[in-house]
Every structure is written in C-alpha cells, then in structure tokens.
Amino acid sequence: MNCGFDRELLSLYADGVLKRDLLLHVETHISECQECRRALEDMRELGKALNSLPREAAPHALVERILAEAKGTVRQTARDAVRQTVSAVWTVAMHGFRIEDEQEELVRRELPEWVVRWVLFV
C-alpha cells in the first residue's frame, strides 16, 4: 500500500537537506501517516547500515609505492627535459630549425626562463 506521498521528498528529508517550508510539509505528513514513518525509518536504517560498513586501512606498501612512483615520475620528467633541451639545442645549432612543438612545450614548462629564451630565441 502506498499513501501517495512523494517518497523522493521523504528521502530528502531523511538526508536532512530540505528547506524549512518543505521540511514542515513532510513533518506534518509523517506525524499523521504511519506508513511514511515506517518508510522513513527504513531509509534511515539503510543509511546507517551503509555508513557503518567495515573499512580497511590503505596498505602501507601501497602508499609507499605511490610515493616512490610519483618521485620517479618527477625525476623522469626532469631527465626528459634535460634530454629534450640538449636535443633541441643540438638541432638548432646544427640545422637552424625551430624545435618541434612538443619539445617547445616541455622546455617552457620545465626549464628556467633564461634557458627558454636561449633555446627558443624568444
């Protein structure tokens, strides 16, 4: 059986997100409707059960792996930047070409301003 009351509204009431006028509207209804009171209790019970599901600590080894990987990425990026710069300088010195867009982006991102000016002639 369903009294026809908007259950989505009841669900918002259970979550405590209703504004005052709607809150009063729901409270008035549930004070008179046993079926909705039960439904509300059920929603709260479900929410409580979900909220208290068991949790585990993140494995320490996982955290260390993430940190090591991130450190490695930084080092690799720096190494790549130096490698790209040397390659860019060499290209410019030998052929007088502008370097590739991809290299330019990396040089701009990773290197000090004076090196960027020197490499890119800007």
Partner 1 sequence: MDQPPHRVFREFVSAHAGRIYNHALRMLGNREDAEEAVQDIFLKAHRGMADFRGQSEIRTWLYRITVNTCLTRLRRTTLQQVHPDAEQTKTGNQWDTIVSNDDSPENLLIEKDIKGFVIEALELISPDDKEILLLFHVDELKYEEIAIVLDVPIGTVCARLYRARKKLRAAMEPLQKELKR
Binding site for partner 1 (CB under 8 A): 7-8, 11-12, 15, 17, 42-43, 45-47, 49-59, 62-63, 65-67, 69-71, 73-74, 77, 109
Write out the two tokens for 17: 């997100």
Q: What is the 3-state secondary structure (H, E, C) of 19-32?
A: CHHHHHHHHHHHHH
Residue with smaller CB distance to partner 1, 4 or 59: 59
Distance, CA of 34 to CA of 41 (rounded, Å): 10
Q: How far is the CB of 23 from partner 1 (least distance, A)?
A: 15
Q: What are the backbone angles phi and psi of residue 88, rounded to the nearest 5°?
A: -65, -45
Residue with smaller CB distance to partner 1, 3 or 62: 62
Position of tokens 């991809």?
102
Q: How far is the CB of 58 from partner 1 (least distance, A)?
A: 4
Q: Which of 109, 58, 51 is nearest to 85 (CA)?
A: 109
Residue with smaller CB distance to partner 1, 60 or 95: 60
Q: How far is the CB of 38 from partner 1 (least distance, A)?
A: 13
Q: How far is the CB of 86 from partner 1 (least distance, A)?
A: 21
